[in-house]
Amino acid sequence: MKVIRDPHEMQEWSAERRRRGIRVGVVPTMGYLHEGHLSLVRLAKAESDVVILTLFVNPTQFGPHEDLERYPRDFERDRALCEAEGVDVLFAPSTGVYAGDHSVYVVEEVLSARLCGASRPGHFRGVLTVVAKLFNLTLADVAVFGEKDAQQLRLIRRMTRDLNFPVRILSGPIVREADGVAMSSRNRNLDAASRAAAPRLQASLRAAERAFERGERNVQALRAEILDVLGDLSPGELDYLEILDDQSLSEVGDLIRAPVLVALAVRFPGARLIDNITLNPEAPHATRPQ
Ligand code: AMP
């Protein structure tokens, strides 16, 4: 496996592969890899000839009071996991990918209005900007993202469409711990009480899903079901719980008639956790989270 640190070298490496008709896949990450990331590598391998995993803790997507400094990092561990998974290139730009006087950003104006976009101002501007840069640096044919970051995935698809990036976006399902907690690099920053409360995120979504499968279509009733299972999250607190149109991420009214995204975020002292499911009235039994 090759480790590339220099953005220009990354672009040259990919350009040379593309000239030879080799299909390039990319999995963008912030490192401290877990099975969720590795499942995306496997998807990328199935759809391309060479796979690049990018490892960059992107400062522009962190707010001033967020956890940029505390974000877990372990390069040697990540390198070994990539090597074992058959990644071809680990792109870890050591000096970052931003020019000192960088001044151009990608801003999405509709899908980013709610959910994490509302509670983390500027977050998606940073995400879309770095993903656009990574598309240009890796010249990927295929890029793979996780459904855990549901709003991010929809925004990246929208950016790719609206700015005509010649890249195919694929997604992989949420990979979970045995107790249902969605894997996340940030889980290691949870204290014991927070970690003990964390399984209730998925449990609450599954309760809503069971109600949905029994025929419940009322948004308020499903919200109540979720809040009931979430209960008192202390030392955490609910950041948001929203049931939105799966495509437009807009309000759906009282009754669910088209696919919805049910998304929630909880702020624990050490980390903010997110989780989601989609509910589809046309196929109510086909949406079970794994
Ligand atoms: P991150 O390193 O957290 O920025 O995530 C990098 C990519 O991995 C994103 O596309 C995430 O959506 C995806 N990802 C993170 N956690 C999971 C998970 N538990 N299951 C599936 N994909 C994940």
For ligand 1, atom 19: residue with the closest CA: 183
Q: Annotated catalytic, 37?
A: yes
The protein residue whose alpha carbon is closest to atom 11 in ligand 1 is 146
Nearest CA to ligand 1 atom 13: 146
Write the CA distances from 180 to 41, 65, 213, integer angstroms: 22, 29, 20
pLDDT value at position 80?
Answer: 98
Distance 255 CA to ligand 1 centre (A): 31
Give the contacts of 239 (CB within 8 A, at least 6 positions apart). 119, 264, 265, 266, 267, 272
- Closest residue CA from atom 17 of ligand 1: 36
Residue closest to 273 by CA, chosen among 184, 210, 204: 184
From ligand 1's centre to the CA of 199, what distance in Å? 18
- Tokens read off for 33: 């890899």
- Give the number of other CB atoms < 10 A from CB of residue 154: 21
H-type alpha helices, the chain:
7-19, 35-47, 75-85, 115-119, 123-138, 150-162, 192-197, 199-213, 219-230
pLDDT of residue 287: 55
182 ligand 1 Cβ < 6 A:
yes
What residue owns the CA closest to ligand 1's atom 12? 146
Ligand 1 atom showing the smallest separation from residue 182 Cα = 19
DSSP string, 16-73: HHHHTTPPEEEEEE-SS--HHHHHHHHHHHHH-SEEEEEE---GGGS-TTSSTTTS--
Whole-number Cα distances in Å, 106 to 103, 132, 161, 169: 10, 8, 13, 17
Q: Specify the residue for token string 């669910």.
A: 256
Give 164-212 pLDDT, tens digit per residue: 999 999 999 999 999 999 999 999 999 999 999 999 999 999 999 999 9
Determine the pLDDT at residue 95: 76
Which CATH superfamily includes the segment(s) 2-172?
HUPs (3.40.50.620)
Cα 88–Cα 91–Cα 94 angle in degrees, nearest 5 = 150
Which residues of the chain are under the pLDDT cut of 70? Answer: 286-290
CA of 215 to the centre of ligand 1 (A): 31
* CA–centroid distance, residue 253 to ligand 1 (Å): 30
Do the beta carbons of residue 106 and residue 128 sit within 8 Å?
A: yes
Tell whether ligand 1 has an atom less than 6 A from the beta carbon of residue 185: yes
Same fold flag, 2-172 and 190-279: no
* Ligand 1 centroid, distance to 187 Cα (angstroms): 12
Indicate which residue of 8, 34, 37, 65 is catalytic. 37
Does any ligand 1 atom lie closer than 6 A to the CB of residue 29? Answer: yes
Q: In this structure, which amino acid lies at residue 241?
A: L
Check residue 109 and give its pLDDT: 97
pLDDT in the model for residue 175:
98
Q: Which of 149, 155, 186 to mutate to test the pocket of ligand 1 (most atoms within 8 A of CB)?
A: 149
- 4 contacts 89 by C-beta, under 8 angstroms: yes
Topology annotation, domain 190-279: Pantoate--beta-alanine Ligase; Chain: A,domain 2 (3.30.1300)
Which one, of 42, 32, 13, 36, lies nearest residue 77 by Cα? 32
Atom number of ligand 1 nearest to Cα 30 = 2
In which residue are the tokens 């890249």 written?
167
| pLDDT for position 289 | 47
Q: Which one-letter amino acid corresponds to residue 77?
A: R
The Cα diameter of the chain in Å comes to 57
Atom of ligand 1 minimally distant from the CA of 171: 10
What is the per-residue pLDDT for 290? Answer: 45
Domain extents in the chain: 2-172, 190-279
- Asked if residues 207 and 221 have their Cβ atoms less than 8 Å apart, the reply is no
Give me the torsion for CA of 196, 202, 205, 207, rounded to 10°. Answer: -70
**Angle ∠(92,273,67) on CA atoms, nearest 5:** 50
Q: Using CA atoms, how far apart are residues 197 and 274, in angstroms rounded to an integer? A: 13
Q: Compute, in angstroms, the gap from residue 184 CA to the centroid of ligand 1.
A: 7
Cα torsion 105, 109, 112, 118: sign: positive
